[in-house]
Amino acid sequence: MVIRLSERWPEVSSDRLLSECVPPPRFADVRFSTYRPAPDEPSQADALAVLTSRAVGLAKPRQAPSLWSRLRGRTEDPGKPGVYLDGGFGVGKTHLLASLWHEAAGPKMYCTFVELTNLVGALGLRTAVEALSSYRLICIDEFELDDPGDTMLISRLLGQLVAAGVELAATSNTLPDKLGEGRFQAIDFLREIQALSGHFDVRRIDGPDYRHRGLPVAPEPWPDAQVETVAAERANASCDHFVDLHRHLAELHPSKYGALLDGVDTVAITDIRPLTDENVALRLVVLADRMYDRNLPLLAGGVPLDQLFSADMLKGGYRKKYLRALSRLIALANAGMVPETSTVVP
């Protein structure tokens, strides 16, 4: 029986949200020893050395300062509580971030920035701070500021966690003091952005950026009837009309998009149409990320996937999000076109 994602209403507990904050399957086995810095890019070896050094301290459980040190006061510079890896796609930032998480003692957390904001939105700021203040390390992949609300929320969250002794690690394609540019009036939130930047020791990782190579070619979409037929033949496949699906996503908190895919092995979508609404597009970006994390092949009907986002969207402030989503959806669609699928190549 074909699954209809648009008819599902998952409920997700706070315990599940926290328990799922681990590296995705494709990074479950990475370690510092499996990272191969490019010989002609010394910044990659430098970043490896910095994170390896941090991992030594993080491998030990967090300890409260002794009474003597509290009485004396701290005279030495403890250094910044976080490290921030800035660089293009495909230079190994996520590999290094996941490796650091694997080395650290628990409790620890690994999530994308979007997952973090969704988590705080679902739990509430106070509950999130209470739940995370005892953590040894929080790793945040794809750090980005999309709107003023995110800026205020994450600034307060990380400020309170750092004060509680939590260490941070993050990756991004944007330097901390440039976050928010092109997306909102970042100058109006300069204090919050500077506060976020102040938590991190920034390390630049150089290397070829996938955007210079262009997006992979989108496969030719199937007729809707073929999408429905193949979905019916595959075990645990979902099949939804594009409009039904994106309208349903608007009624769910994004923290539930992962649970929406529980028990699904293939996602089929008919009548995919070009998007002009930024809100709809951003919800689909989140769904694409959850599908990609789970290596779910995509059966796509309608327009070719490289026509999903408008030209204006691909030139706007969310450009990097849309390019990442297109790259991932195209990879999943290519996997969906063969009868037997294997792990999607990142």
3-state secondary structure the chain: CCECHHHCCCCCCHHHHHHCCCCCHHHCCCCHHHCCCCCCCHHHHHHHHHHHHHHHHHCCCCCCCCHHHHHHCCCCCCCCCEEEEEECCCCCHHHHHHHHHHHCCCCEEEEEHHHHHHHHHHHCHHHHHHHHCCCCEEEEECCCCCCHHHHHHHHHHHHHHHHCCCEEEEEECCCHHHCCCCCCCHHHHHHHHHHHHCCEEEEEECCCCHHHCCCCCCCCCECHHHHHHHHHHCCCEEEEEHHHHHHHHCCCCHHHHHHHCCCCCEEEEEEECCECCHHHHHHHHHHHHHHHHCCCCEEEEECCHHHCECCCHHHCCCHHHHHHHHHHHHHHHHHHCCCCCCCCCC
* pLDDT confidence of residue 128: 93
Residues 103, 233 within the same domain: no
Residues 220, 189 within the same domain: no
Residues 221, 326 within the same domain: yes
* pLDDT confidence of residue 186: 44
Residues 175, 88 within the same domain: yes
Residues 188, 235 within the same domain: no
* pLDDT confidence of residue 183: 44
Residues 129, 57 within the same domain: yes
Residues 175, 52 within the same domain: yes
Domain termination residue (choose one: 208, 239, 274): 208
Residues 91, 157 within the same domain: yes
Rounded to whole angstroms, the Cα distance separating 286 from 292 reads 10
Instruction: Return the CATH number at 156.
Output: 3.40.50.300
Per-residue pLDDT of the chain (346 residues; tens, 9 = 90+): 899 999 999 998 888 889 989 998 888 999 999 999 988 899 999 999 999 999 999 998 776 554 444 455 544 445 788 888 888 767 888 999 999 999 999 899 999 888 888 889 888 999 999 999 999 999 999 887 666 667 778 888 988 999 999 999 988 876 554 554 544 444 444 455 566 677 888 888 887 654 445 567 889 999 999 999 999 999 999 999 999 999 999 999 998 999 999 999 999 999 999 998 999 999 999 999 999 988 999 999 999 999 999 999 988 878 888 888 998 899 999 999 876 544 444 4
Helices 125-132/148-163 angle, 10° precision = 30
111 beta partners: 140
Residue 20 belongs to a domain: no
Nearest to 138 by CA among 99, 111, 103, 105: 111
- Domains: count for the chain: 2
Residue 82 belongs to a domain: yes
Residues 62, 181 within the same domain: yes
Residues 44, 64 within the same domain: yes
* pLDDT confidence of residue 343: 43
Residue 344 belongs to a domain: no
Residue 343 belongs to a domain: no
Which domain, by its residues, includes 75? 31-208
